[in-house]
Structure 1
Amino acid sequence: METKAALSASIALALEVLATPKSGNVDRFHDFEDLKLHDFVISSICSLPSFLKLARGEIGVGEAIYQAINESVKFHGEKNVHFGAFLLLCPLVSSHGDVKKAVENVKNSDWKQSLYVYKAFKLVNPRVLSSKELDLREDETEKEIVEKKLSLYEWMKKAPEENIVAKELTNGYKLSTECKNRILYWSEKFSLEKAIVLAYHEILSKVPDPLIIAKHGKSLAEKITEEAKLRLKDFKELGNFSIFMEFDEKLIERKINPGSVADIVAAGIYLALMEGVRIA
């Protein structure tokens, strides 16, 4: 079970980036100027040793996040490839896919695990929403974590409501579980890749992506959510995956990147793998 828990996380990261098209994100058809398909594949491979140690109980959640990022940047440079995905996946790997236990592990983490997450953030400096308390971008946050001995759970509770990745860790992985259920549903009708593409757009149609909010504002993020709903409606009527290709090209051209939804989807894929979804 330990090996499956770790391997499934690395495989989930690879399946997420290879699924095409995921509108606005790196996939087999699109690279970004600063992030390429191979950066994500490298990160998914380099994270495996950390996942294995975590699954065996040899390191904590925060330390696993730090080690995974620290090892992967040695190969792809100091780029943010999987910070949000690691934040979601590591608690799940620590619990071997048990969502309730994953949240308990986050609750039981000590301040040292929070500090590892802060240090991981500093390695790659991903774009995040501003926060009134314990903002990842502020140097004072490190001092406050130590002084107040804040667990990862206590820290994530203070994240902005729009931060769907942080909220998953405190509300029981609701979106990730929904994504898993949709992947399992669609995989009975289509290939796993197409199931992932459909689940991705379904999550995008439900929540404004915080990365879009951080870069372009909440109004645009909400418009993208509404447009995703329309694309899904068109797909259900026509059954044509080119609908998502068109949406993808539009978002890529405008540099609109729903990166946090992609993180949720990686967690959903992981949970589906742990439940035995067929890959072939």
Structure 2
Amino acid sequence: MTGRTGDRETGRGTDRDPVDDATLALLLEVAGTPKPGNVDRRRDLGDLRFESFLGGAVGARAGLELAADGEAPIGDAFECAVAGMADRAGTNTQFGCLLLLGPLLRATVAGPPADDASPSVDLDSDAVDRVTRDTTVADAVAFYRAFERVDVAVADPPADATELDVRRGSDAAPTLRDRELTLRDVMAISAAPDDPDRVPDRNAQEWVEGFPRTFRAAEWIRTDAGPLTDRAARAFLGLLAAEPDTLVAATHGPETAREASARAAALLDGVDAGPDDVGDVDEIGADAVHGADLDAAEALATAFVDEGINPGTTADLTCAALYVALRRGAEVAP
């Protein structure tokens, strides 16, 4: 399965297999170093090792191929990818990455809408939005089943949504069917929590907002210079600086998550942000990200690991951005 995507500024596209690019994005994400608080080439986290992520990327391929299949339900593709990842890695390595890559892959190969005479496929926000809007209740049920494959760190659901706690797995299926909730509907609940102090699920926000963080960071990566692994590390810092990380908020609380973002912002070029200033990816310019101090980020990486601060959702977004950057012409070759 192949799809062609054009580079918006240079016009250069790619005829590479989208599944190859998705797999490469998974590998480049974990190889990006340093990504403070996350596994990278120089750091393992307890039993979660660098090679675990390499195995997870390989194991997920069958599910990624289903996502690139125009006929397979997107929920089944995700569940297959998670199962393959867990089987090869022996643990949860890239659950959130796969959740974002599925719609991006499907949008890559779907082509323009029937009423669009454009001969080219442009992987953009509208294309991914069409994919998520087409999801079904069965996709939501498959998404919940995927949580039975691995342990996923999530925050407690809102008080009025306990029946939709993803940790219920298949037991939530009757509720999903009774309420006729599609996978996009489920994401919308997580993307807009009722509690204003609660950090939203950033991956869920991507699903319902058209992947704005992904496309923003993809341009940071595509227009940057140097090895893609360094570009990924700088994009990670930009994403973390822009918004508090969902996983950090779930494990340490919103205040710690905002402080972690402020500490990342201090490493960007010309950005002076405190915990109360973070909150909008559009406020972080490409020049600030390209000027990120990776040497200083090494010290922050050590500190985050020592403190148990793991911005895993930011890593998911970085992976998705790498995929889009690869589709838009970014290369691993010099």
Q: TM-score, normalised by structure 1?
A: 0.93
**Alignment-mate amino acid for residue 146 of structure 1:** R
Unpaired runs of 5+ residues, structure 1, are: none
* 1:34-73 superposed matches below 5 A: 34-73=47-86
* Cα deviation digits, residues 120-154 of structure 1 (max 9, x gap): 11211301122222221236532211222211111
Indicate if the aligned counterparts of 2:191 and 2:208 stay in contact, CA closer than 8 A.
Answer: no
Shift in Å, 1:193: 1.5
RMSD value, Cα:
1.9
Cα separation, 1, equivalents of 2:230 and 2:30: 13
Indicate if the aligned counterparts of 2:58 and 2:88 stay in contact, CA closer than 8 A.
Answer: no
Cα separation, 2, equivalents of 1:142 and 1:184: 41
Pair 1:75 & 2:88 matched: yes
**Shift in CA distance, 6/86, structure 1 to aligned 2, threshold 3 Å:** same
The answer to which of 143-152 and 166-175 deviates more is 143-152
1:116 is aligned to 142
* 1:1-280 superposed matches below 5 A: 1-2=2-3, 4-77=17-90, 79-96=91-108, 97-132=123-158, 133=161, 134-138=164-168, 141-161=172-192, 162-186=200-224, 189-233=225-269, 240-280=293-333
Shift in Å, 1:6: 1.2
Indicate if the aligned counterparts of 1:92 and 1:99 stay in contact, CA closer than 8 A.
Answer: no
Cα separation, 2, equivalents of 1:190 and 1:73: 32
Shift in Å, 1:58: 3.5
Cα separation, 2, equivalents of 1:262 and 1:61: 22
Unpaired runs of 5+ residues, structure 2, are: 4-15, 109-122, 193-199, 272-287
**Shift in CA distance, 76/240, structure 1 to aligned 2, threshold 3 Å:** closer
2:190 aligned counterpart, secondary structure? coil
Cα separation, 1, equivalents of 2:321 and 2:178: 35
Q: Which has the higher helix share?
A: 1
The aligned length equals 277
Shift in Å, 1:238: 8.4
Cα separation, 1, equivalents of 2:294 and 2:67: 38
Indicate if the aligned counterparts of 2:124 and 2:215 stay in contact, CA closer than 8 A.
Answer: no
Shift in Å, 1:49: 2.1
Indicate if the aligned counterparts of 2:34 and 2:40 stay in contact, CA closer than 8 A.
Answer: yes
Cα separation, 2, equivalents of 1:204 and 1:145: 32
2:111 is aligned to none
Cα separation, 2, equivalents of 1:69 and 1:239: 33
Cα separation, 2, equivalents of 1:157 and 1:21: 32
**Shift in CA distance, 111/47, structure 1 to aligned 2, threshold 3 Å:** same
Q: TM-score, normalised by structure 2?
A: 0.78
**Shift in CA distance, 258/238, structure 1 to aligned 2, threshold 3 Å:** closer
**Shift in CA distance, 50/238, structure 1 to aligned 2, threshold 3 Å:** closer
The answer to which of 124-133 and 162-171 deviates more is 124-133
Cα separation, 2, equivalents of 1:277 and 1:59: 28
**Alignment-mate amino acid for residue 230 of structure 1:** A
Indicate if the aligned counterparts of 2:101 and 2:320 stay in contact, CA closer than 8 A.
Answer: yes
**Alignment-mate amino acid for residue 135 of structure 1:** D
Cα separation, 2, equivalents of 1:251 and 1:58: 43
Shift in Å, 1:257: 0.2
Shift in Å, 1:33: 1.3
Indicate if the aligned counterparts of 2:40 and 2:50 stay in contact, CA closer than 8 A.
Answer: yes
* Cα deviation digits, residues 151-173 of structure 1 (max 9, x gap): 11111111154100011000010
The percent of aligned pairs where both chains have the same amino acid is 26
**Alignment-mate amino acid for residue 300 of structure 2:** F
Cα separation, 1, equivalents of 2:318 and 2:140: 24
